[in-house]
Structure 1
Amino acid sequence: MKLSVCIDARMINNSGIGVYILNHIKNYLYDDEIELILIGDKNNLIACLGSSFTRAVIIEDLTQIYTIKEQISLYLQIPECDIFWSPHYNIPLLPVKARKRLVTIHDTYHLTYASTLSLPQRIYSKLVLSQAVTKSDAIICDSYFTRDEIKKHFPDISLDPFVIHLGIDHSLYRKIDDTSLKDRLKSKYQVPDNYILFVGNVKPNKNLSTLVKALGVINKQGLDRKLVIIGKREGFIGKDDTLTELLNNDYELSRNVIFTGFVENEDLPILYNLASVFVFPSLYEGFGFPPLEAMACGCPVVASNFASIPEVCGNAAFYINPNSAESIANGILSVLNDNELRNKLVLAGLKHVHRYLWSDTVSETKKILVSLCKK
């Protein structure tokens, strides 16, 4: 008899959580022991899954996340099934028809950085996260760091969260030697030679302002290096007052920061391949895909020594203090100026990243699904 699993797939188009949802769904669609029920935008699901969408039952739901409306909708939409799985902490607060509940909590950003949220957002995230750890029959985390953060914020939690590291797509993120392809991408995105690369968003924990300051420290030494940021300038400027001030008031600094605009998913690995160094100065991460993606592409990684990052990157990154522009600059310069160190990081990264396979993530998650139904 098949295990019926209903997944809230409304966030399948999101950059991080969407990758998590999509990789699980793609694998479970062809698992003879699992019957999938997907809640979400039917058109989005068909676009993501192609013809294989017919192997799942799709329940249309267009409600926005983090809203009261989603609570009512999920209560009405979730059918009778063995397990309802929330791949994010925004679980339904009302009773559901599923026998068991599973939740994945990727991080506790909304608690740790509560000061950056509006009052309604703070109230909602605190309420829903607290219910996620009390109403669920099992909790999955992406890292031991996140597991410890959950226990810190909710010391009375009765469950011991499972830790399952994520994977990356090794068929997409890989070393690319095609020089003509690289040249076309350089022209398409107007990026220079030997650039420093940042991939991420502008949330305060990403610490982009300090990275830009570090670029200033580097270029004061006469190196004239460019920082390439994946994304649209308007997506960053205006959301970070410090960054806005830095780029608006310092012409020399601003001219050395390049925003690529929107980057196609299949183009991102080539931009990793073209970079001299990838920098991840984040203050807070539940996991963090970009350093692993860079490693898989043979790009040396300079990374923060905060949060889950050392757990995920192991001995394959050059670590810096993300609160110090000088530390970030010194880390970047060390990799740029020391070929032996650079080659060591590249080789270590290529070896290390093969620990992160979606097949392993999906397999470990399935064990939890099966064990839940035996209880």
Structure 2
Amino acid sequence: MHLYINGRFLTQRFSGVQRFAIELTGAIDALVGEGAWPAATILVPPGPAAPRPYRFLGMRQVGRASGHLWEQLELPYFSRGGFLLNLGNTAPLAKGSRQAVVIHDAGVYDIPHAYSPAFRTWYRTLYRGLAGLDASLVTVSRFSQARLSARLHLAPDRIGIMREGSDHILRDSGDLSGLPVDGKPFVLVVGNLVAHKNLSALTACITPLRERGLALAIVGTGVRTIFQSAGHEALAGALMLGRVTDRQLSALYKAATCLIFPSSYEGFGLPAVEAMACGCPVIAQSGGSIAEICAEAALYFDARVPGSLVDALREVVGDRERAEAMSRIGLGRSAHYTWRNAASDLSGLLRDQIGETRRLGTERLVR
């Protein structure tokens, strides 16, 4: 059975889900060349697509429609006779059980206020339909597995778990030129100005940081068409860096005193793993997937407890040995999170559907 990959991600606005799909298909492409993945073809909707230099994966532009309409009505036809892999939360219902879909979290159920009514209604309908049609479901953490299992009324083992990777952030040495933090000590935040990213928790940090000569630098943008932004008005004292390149983000992680990751809900938490890969200590909101992903490499705070985040900051900023130890532990843990390992996880989960390939030389999934 031929393997097809839903390439709609190549025509979408870049976000964490598109990052996942682009990096994962890059790793799969390399493994196809090694004979460690079966041959596959990426099917892409018409129109401009992000250029991706795949050497071994086939790529075809098919159909006439775009967006959800292309995915639901045309993609099943062009992938007929084969197995379809969907990496970005959505998949065509008409394809039934002859497909797998990676659903990154259960946010449309657990944090409905963060999404528009139309968005969450469609995604809830789609997820229940895919579960009922016996499509293979995959997610990126035990936390997301548990939440999706509960929401979709499925046994947990009906949903496979794979990791994400962070090695993309190490592709070059980084460059701070052109950013207002160049040469200044700062604490970094990476996250969009949306409700569940919980940036309002940062307001208590600005004055204590300023007293220590540290700036608060925030990378990210607000996406108001889908999300309902909240809690960022009081952050006027922070450096809003907006969207940055991977090269700049790598340099920011490496230069930052630490990363604050205040998000109250994450399916995986890629910025925290990127930071660990760059040797940047991580302070994260407790709960969700972050403690599972970062484990003892991060220091945790509870936004419901006044002063919790400031206390954690003082512990990292004021104790160089503690910060260096966190950096070492984070580097060791992040080494497991590579896109090759992620592709290996997925290959193992879908072995029955996509066929046997030779054993991959990758590390086991970190628990």
Partners of 2:157 and 2:332 in 1: CA distance: 34
2: CA distance between counterparts of 1:7 and 1:363?
16
Q: Are 2:54 and 1:55 aligned? A: no
- Structure 1 residue 217: deviation in Å? 5.1
CA drift of 1:99 comes to 6.9
Q: Using the alignment, how far apart are the partners of 2:232 and 2:212 within structure 1?
A: 22
The yes-or-no answer on 1:225 pairing with 2:185 is: no
Structure 1 336/368 Cα, relative in aligned 2: closer, same or farther at 3 Å? same
C-alpha distance in structure 1 between counterparts of 2:305 and 2:295, whole Å:
21
> What residue number does 1:27 align with?
27
Residues 302 and 51 (structure 1 numbering): CA distance in 2 closer, same or farther, change over 3 Å?
closer
Q: Which amino acid aligns with 2:158?
A: D
Q: Which amino acid counterpart does residue 74 of structure 1 have in structure 2?
A: L
Q: Are residues 1:173 and 2:163 paired?
A: no
Give the C-alpha shift of residue 290 in structure 1: 0.7
Output the CA distance in 1 between the equivalents of 2:318 and 2:311.
10
Determine the structure 2 residue equivalent to 1:208: 199
5+ residue gaps, structure 2: 357-367
**Could you tell me whether the CA contact under 8 Å between 1:39 and 1:60 is conserved in 2?**
no
One-letter amino acid matched to 1:64: G
CA-to-aligned-CA distance 1:165-189 (integer Å, 9 cap, x gap): 111126x32895xxxx75xx2x411
**Counterpart contact for 2:116–2:228, Cα < 8 Å:** no
329-338 or 99-108, larger mean C-alpha shift: 99-108
Q: Which whole-Å deviations, capped at 9, do the CAs of 1:217-268 have from their partners, x for residues lacking one? A: 554xx335311011358989x9534312x24xxxxxx2x3011233112221
Deviation digits for residues 117-141 of structure 1, max 9, x if unmatched? 3332232121111112222432111
Q: Superposition pairs for residues 97-116 of structure 1, below 5 Å?
A: 100-116=98-114
Instruction: Give the conservation status (yes or no) of the 8 Å contact 2:191–2:221.
Output: no
Does the CA-based 8 Å contact 1:194-1:225 persist in structure 2? yes
Q: 1-side partners of 2:8 and 2:40: how far apart?
A: 14
For residues 342 and 150 of structure 2, the distance between their equivalents in structure 1, rounded to whole angstroms, comes to: 25
Q: Is the 8 A contact 2:63 2:70 kept in 1?
A: no
Equivalence map 1:248-287=2 (5 Å): 254=236, 256-287=237-268
2 CA distance for matches of 1:269 and 1:364? 26
> Residue 81 and residue 325 in structure 1: after superposition, are their counterparts in 2 closer, same or farther (change >3 A)?
farther
Q: Which amino acid aligns with 2:80?
A: E
Identical counterparts, % of pairs: 23
Separation in 2, partners of 1:233, 1:45: 23
The one of 133, 138, 141 equivalent to 1:143 is 141
Task: Please name the residue that 2:299 is paired with.
Answer: 318
Q: 1:132 aligns with which of 127, 130, 133?
A: 130
State which of 329, 353, 357 in structure 1 corresponds to 2:334.
353
**Cα separation, 1, equivalents of 2:222 and 2:327:** 30
Counterpart CA distance in 2 for 1:143 and 1:202 is 24
Equivalent in 190, 205, 213 of residue 180 of structure 2: 190
CA contact (8 A) 1:218 1:333 kept: no
Alignment-mate amino acid for residue 341 of structure 1? R
- Say whether the 8 Å CA contact 1:100–1:373 is kept in structure 2: no
- Asked if the contact 1:87–1:104 (Cα under 8 Å) also holds between the matched residues in 2, the reply is yes
Q: CA deviation at 1:281?
A: 1.0
Whole-angstrom distance in 1 between the partners of 2:353 and 2:109 = 28
Match of 1:240?
A: 229
Structure 2 counterpart of 1:332, from 298, 313, 321: 313
List runs of 5+ in structure 1 lacking aligned partners. Answer: 248-253
- The answer (yes or no) to whether the contact 1:273–1:298 under 8 Å persists in 2 is yes
The alignment partner of 2:3 has SS state of: strand
Distance 1:61 1:215, change over 3 A: farther
Q: Which residue of 2 aligns with 1:74?
A: 75
Distance 1:73 1:216 in 2: 55
Instruction: Tell me the alpha carbon deviations over residues 332-352 of structure 1, each in whole angstroms, 9 at most, x when there is no partner.
Output: 111000111111101111111
Aligned position for 1:299: 280
| CA shift in 2, pair 1:91/1:291, >3 Å | same
Q: Partner amino acid for 1:240?
A: S
1:38 matched residue in structure 2: 42
Residue in structure 2 matched with residue 250 of structure 1 by the alignment: none
| Residues 233 and 144 (structure 1), Cα distance of their counterparts in 2 relative to 1, 3 Å cut | closer
Between structures 1 and 2, the one with greater helix share: 1
For 1:263 and 1:234, the matched residues in 2 are separated by 15
For residues 110-162 of structure 1, the C-alpha deviation after alignment (integer angstroms, 9 at most, x for no partner) is 11111333332232121111112222432111000000001111224586211
- Contact 1:215–1:227 (Cα < 8 Å) also in 2: yes
Counterpart of 1:251 in structure 2 is none
Superposed CA RMSD: 3.0
The alignment of Structure 1 onto Structure 2 pairs a total of residues equal to 348
Residue 17 of structure 2 aligns with which residue?
A: 17
- Structure 1 CA distance, aligned partners of 2:143 and 2:70? 32
What is the distance in 1 between the residues matched to 2:54 and 2:336? 31
Q: Distance in 1 between matches of 2:355 and 2:320?
A: 54
SS at match of 1:228: strand
Contact 2:253 2:275 in 1 (8 A): yes
Partner Cα separation in structure 2 for residue 278 and residue 61 of structure 1: 44
Q: Distance in 2 between matches of 1:338 and 1:319?
A: 16
Structure 1 residue 367 corresponds to structure 2 residue 348: yes
Q: Say which of 271, 274, 280 aligns to 1:290.
A: 271
Separation (CA, whole Å) in 2 of partners of 1:349 and 1:61? 46
**Contact 1:29/1:56 (<8 A) preserved:** no
- Does the 8 Å contact 2:100/2:137 carry over to 1? yes
- State the alpha-carbon separation in 2 of the partners of residues 286 and 306 from structure 1: 11
